[in-house]
Structure 1
Amino acid sequence: MATPAFEDIAETFEFLPDWEDRYREVIALGKAMEPMPEALKVPATKVTGCASQVWIHPEIAGGTYAFQGDSDASIVRGLIAILKALYTGVPLEEVGKVNAPAEFARLGLDSHLSAQRSNGLKSMIKRIQETAREAA
């Protein structure tokens, strides 16, 4: 179960032949993402378990999930952009059913992220699922 926005990313990644091209695309996605307001970068929105500074601020409206996010690392900012594409617009009760690791594997990112980045990604996914569960 993936959103149309995520499917667009997956389609783009199908045409990128190697990891370096995919890495550049992740960074480009992060650069294209609207910046998170500084006022939202507070301890309550900070994601623990990430080597970089990461903030996720949920925005729940009409029973669907969305969030603003940011990081001080460009690759992590790109991962946040991908997570936004994966989760934005998903009904709250469906957020926990999204298999984010499998979706990232479709992009070929699962085996190329460092252990620290993988752990940080897991922490971001956990935060998203927790905030959706709390809001449901």
Structure 2
Amino acid sequence: MQNPLTPDASLFTPLDSELTQGVNLIEQATNWQEKYRQIMLLGKKLPNLAEELRLESAQVKGCESQAWLYHLQVNEQHFYLADSDARIVKGLIAVLLVATQGKTSQQIAAFDVNQYFDTLGLSGQLSPSRTNGLHALANVIKDSAA
């Protein structure tokens, strides 16, 4: 994914442990309202992408909302910067990044988004358009790591 403006490499870092803890809370939540609340909180914890990086060339196609994704490979590990203009989508991006940030190409290729969302109790809870957008994001992550 080549963009005319590329984020500084120092921005591509391992995720804050609060994001991993947030995904654990989603898995432990006993009802959809609590899971939704945790997704929204995760979205708030994911850093905002600078306005000058919200370029059309970095947009993920297939998302109902606007979503941007940047990729950087450091040695064998893949790192992502991502953002969305919709809070729920930003939270779902954070959920995806917890599963893929800092992973190898092989780990990302083996990542099954459907199984991951089943484990978290999110399958069947999202609208078809959100599910399609989530798959579009997961596919861009996988393609960039291939």
TM-score range, shorter chain: 0.7 to 0.9
Q: Match for 2:76: what amino acid?
A: G
Equivalent of residue 15 in structure 1, options 21, 28, 34: 28
TM-score, L = length of structure 2: 0.82
Structural RMSD (CA): 1.8
CA contact (8 A) 2:23 2:95 kept: no
Are 2:126 and 1:124 equivalent residues in the alignment? no
Equivalent of residue 122 in structure 2, options 97, 109, 112: 109
Which ranges of structure 1 fall in alignment gaps of 5 or more residues? none
Identity of aligned residues (%): 30
Corresponding pairs, count: 130
Equivalent of residue 86 in structure 1, options 94, 99, 107: 99
CA-to-partner distance for each residue in 1:84-125, whole Å, 9 max, x for gaps? 101011112321111121111111111100000000000000
Q: Match for 2:145: what amino acid?
A: A
Which ranges of structure 2 fall in alignment gaps of 5 or more residues? 1-16
Q: Residues of 2 paired with 1:5 and 1:84: CA distance?
A: 13
Structure 1 residue aligned with 2:8: none
After superposition, the Cα gap between the structure-2 partners of 1:81 and 1:109, relative to the gap in structure 1 and judged at 3 Å, is: same
Equivalent of residue 24 in structure 1, options 17, 37, 60: 37
